[in-house]
Amino acid sequence: MIRYSLVFAFIVMSGVFCIAQEYDQSYFTSPVKHKMRLSGSFAELRTNHFHMGIDIKSTNGRSGDEILAVADGIISRINVDASGYGNALYIDHNNGYTTVYAHLSSFSEEISEYVKSEQYRTESFQQQLYPDSMFIVKQGEVIGNMGNTGKSFGPHLHFEIRETKTETPINPFLWGLKPSDNKHPVFQNIRFYESDSIGNTNLLAEQKVTFKSEGKYKLNQNQITLAANQIAISVQVYDQMDGAYNKNGVYLMKMLVDDKVVHGYKLDKVSYEEGHYINSFIDFGEKQKSKRQFSNCFTHPGDSLSIYEHKAGRNGHIKLEKDKYRDVTIVLQDYHGNESELSFKVTSANSTISQNEIRGNYSLSYNERNIVRLKNADIIFKGGSFVTDKLLNIKARHETTDGYQLPTFEIGEKEIPLFKSYKLYLQNLAIPDTLKDHFCLVQCRDKNQVAHKGDWQDSLLMLRLNNLGAYQSSLDLTPPLIEPINLKYDMSREPVIKFKITDNLKPASKKDRLAYRGNIDGKWILFEYDLKNDLIFYKFDENFPKGEHKLTLSVNDNRGNESSFSQQIKKF
């Protein structure tokens, strides 16, 4: 049996800090038959989360490649979702780990028949099934086909290895499931911030990083002078692998100041519970403004990400003195040991720290529960909602909406990251009971109007919100739109019926998605849902009865609005 010991070392002044873990590299085999090429690496940066697996590219850019069980096991869970992982399988193995196979175009025949029977039994496309010991698989057995279902934007296999007990994802590279890689990580840009005693930062400068030689980078000016006596740094970086053009995340980073490690991370495992701290790992404000991802070379007081070594002197904040240069080196490393390095000197032009310009009317402690009381509204933030103390600008006012005086809110700024949802309680809303189901708070985000629907408790409305920013009350009276794609009376030559279903507002949560029901002659039929394309479709099979039939479709938006459609069709 081959065993591999991964050793990660930070060289420090007093010795070496090591993390070692053994993984059996012969236990799992590849989930695909072709040579593995990746479009996404483990724990790379995604919107509001780390990528919890690896994305394996198809052979030809199309769906259909056979997906194999990587070891003997039992299928413990089957998911069918319009977004997220789409069609996904979970296999529990005897070694205490679970493997996940997501975005499948189809399951194996036996699994597909079981899933379809459950869909018709429950009259629902969406499924989360736990088949117990119904499906036992062998290593190398075909369990499905690569696809593009769920929140996927090109055919690939999203593959994960998790600890079965905790469901914590582990980097598959640790098990030997990795492509070849001879490319060095790449520096693109660097940002310098003034940082204060409680971890807040204020941008001072940004510079482009220049390629010097293989694995070596430099700044146009090697000596940097900044008007601050304490700074923090972030870098825009990526890594690539052999045979793929995709820009992936960087496995390991460490920053040294005067030859002493002051910050670093290594991406071996990240739990789902801590995944939301990605917005502390990056310059969240810059991501909101420009979509660029800068990885922070520092931590905040409330940041508990396990990828860091949490000990004194490792928070990455660098103290400066006027005209005294400090040597800074940032090292990037991929899993295969390819390394890139950026070195420069930095000093202070001013020994007096300037104060960040922060405006607000409510001071919130990052590690305490905070309650903000407004007229006819309360906002409750849980402890740990922020990673530093915050001064937020919070205001409420009333505007006329559809003839009613309804509140609008400014709750901080959308460029400030939030790490737990908060509750907004609204009292005495001046609307009749008949309009309660139509009420929602709307936030403009990424060119979408996102609707937040709350829960009524008599005259009190409670909403859970996940973002800071501006919110406006709305009475949504617009029904969803149903658009036939290929529908006609004679469907004899058509293998599928397609509709596009859309709404004027984007739902804030999974439970508020458009709900739909399709019937043939009054009986439920399976319309599959491709949420990213706003498409639902019914596939005719050999059991569909020949003759003339009545097709009906109803769609509702969970805010009291419903649309319906009906048409006679024939199939011979």
pLDDT digits (tens, 9 = 90+) for 8-30: 343 333 333 344 457 999 999 99
* Cα 505 from chain centroid (whole Å): 21
- Asked if 407 and 454 touch (Cβ cutoff 8 Å), the reply is no
Give the distance, in angstroms, between the CA of residue 364 and the centroid of all CA atoms in the same chain.
Answer: 26
Give residue 244's pLDDT: 82
Q: How far is CA 129 from the centre of its chain?
A: 23
Is the Cβ–Cβ distance between 169 and 53 less than 8 Å? yes
**What confidence score (pLDDT) does residue 351 get?**
52
pLDDT at residue 7, rounded to an integer: 41
Beta pairing, strands 448-452 & 506-507:
parallel
Write down the pLDDT at residue 152: 94
pLDDT by residue, tens only, the chain of 572 residues: 333 333 434 333 333 334 445 799 999 999 999 999 999 999 999 999 999 999 999 999 999 999 999 999 999 999 999 999 999 999 999 999 999 999 999 999 999 999 999 999 999 999 999 999 999 999 999 999 999 999 999 999 999 999 999 999 999 999 999 999 999 999 999 999 999 877 889 999 999 999 999 999 999 999 999 999 999 999 999 999 988 888 999 999 999 999 999 999 999 999 999 988 999 999 999 999 999 999 999 999 998 899 998 888 899 999 999 989 999 999 999 999 999 999 999 999 865 545 555 578 999 999 999 999 999 999 999 999 999 999 999 999 999 988 899 999 999 999 999 999 999 999 999 899 999 999 999 997 767 899 999 999 988 999 999 999 999 999 999 999 999 999 999 999 999 999 999 999 999 988 899 999 999 999 999 999 999 999 999 999 888 999 999 999 999 998 999 999 999 999 99
H or E stretch covering 289: helix 284-290
Look up residue 112 and give its DSSP letter: H
362: phi then psi, degrees, rounded to nearest 5: -135, 125
CA distance readout (Å), 356 to 72, 228, 391: 57, 11, 11
Please tell me what DSSP assigns to residue 483: E
Spell out where 156-200 has E strands: 156-163, 169-170, 186-195
Return d(Cα 164, Cα 478) in angstroms, integer. 45
Of 453, 423, 428, 460, residue with least CA distance to 438: 453
The beta-strand segments (E) located in 138-292 are 142-145, 156-163, 169-170, 186-195, 201-213, 216-219, 223-226, 230-238, 252-257, 260-266
pLDDT of 352: 53
Instruction: Please give the angle made by the CA atoms of 191, 196 and 198, to the nearest 5 degrees.
Output: 120
User: Which residues, at least 6 apart from 302, have a Cβ–Cβ distance to it below 8 Å?
Assistant: 280, 366, 367, 384, 386, 387, 388, 419
Q: From the CA atom positions of the chain, what is the Rg in Å? A: 27
Summarised one tens digit per residue, pLDDT across range 284-314 is: 999 999 999 999 999 999 988 999 988 888 9
CA dist., res. 287 & res. 414, Å (int): 11
- Kind plus residue range of the DSSP H or E element containing 137: strand 136-137
Burial 498-537 (b: 16+ CB within 10 A, else e): bbebebebbbbeeebbbbbebbbeeeebebbbbbeeebbb
Distance in angstroms (rounded) separating the CA atoms of residues 279 and 73 = 36
Distance CA 211, CA 199 (A): 31
Cβ–Cβ under 8 Å, residues 277 and 355: no
Per-residue pLDDT at 454? 93
Cα–Cα dist 428/406, whole Å: 10
Question: CA 449, CA 503: separation in Å to the nearest integer?
Answer: 10
